[in-house]
Amino acid sequence: MTTPMPPTNLPWMLDDLVEVPHVVSTVLFSTDGLIIQKSSFMSQDLAEILSAGASSMYSLAAGAGRRFGSGAVQQVVIEYDGNTLFLVSAGQNARLAVLCQRDIDMGMVAYEVSRLVIRIGEFLGTEARSRALAADGPTG
């Protein structure tokens, strides 16, 4: 499977999210773990590792959801000692990974991610799924 060519506005949209305080980098990837686009602040090697791992984690969450009748995955949040990783659907066959520092405002990041997912869906021509992230909006 080949990776689709990203629209020219996609890189700056991902870089714009990195401007949110404590967001480190973003990667838009296909469901099979291939990079569609990455933020310019992340090396290609790290983006490939993140997209492959994130694809696996998202698939694992989806499989567990199916097995237990929980429905579709809305988001996956992994809190590490030093970072937090958000994984969300960004339309049909596309996912978004957002790596943040541990001390982020989760509500603000969730709000900004939901806005970005809608814009990505418009560019990729797919409907974005952002119900869970947009539910509460930004927190102060």
Q: How many CA atoms lie within 13 A of 8 on its CB side?
A: 0
Encoded amino acid at 103, one letter = D
pLDDT tens, residue by residue, 17-71: 999 999 999 999 999 999 999 999 899 999 999 999 999 999 999 999 999 999 9
Domain limits of the chain? 10-134
pLDDT tens, residue by residue, 74-113: 999 999 999 999 999 998 899 999 999 999 999 999 999 9
DSSP letter (8 states) at residue 46: H
**10-134 topology per CATH:** Beta-Lactamase (3.30.450)
pLDDT tens, residue by residue, 65-85: 999 999 999 999 999 999 999
Indicate if the pLDDT at residue 138 is higher than 70.
Answer: no
More confident residue, 102 or 132: 102
53 CB-near residues (< 8 Å, 6+ apart): none
Q: Hey, which bits of the chain come out as E strands?
A: 23-30, 35-38, 75-79, 83-89, 94-101
Which tokens in the block code for residue 12? 């700056």
Work out the pLDDT band at 122, boundaries 50, 70, 90. confident
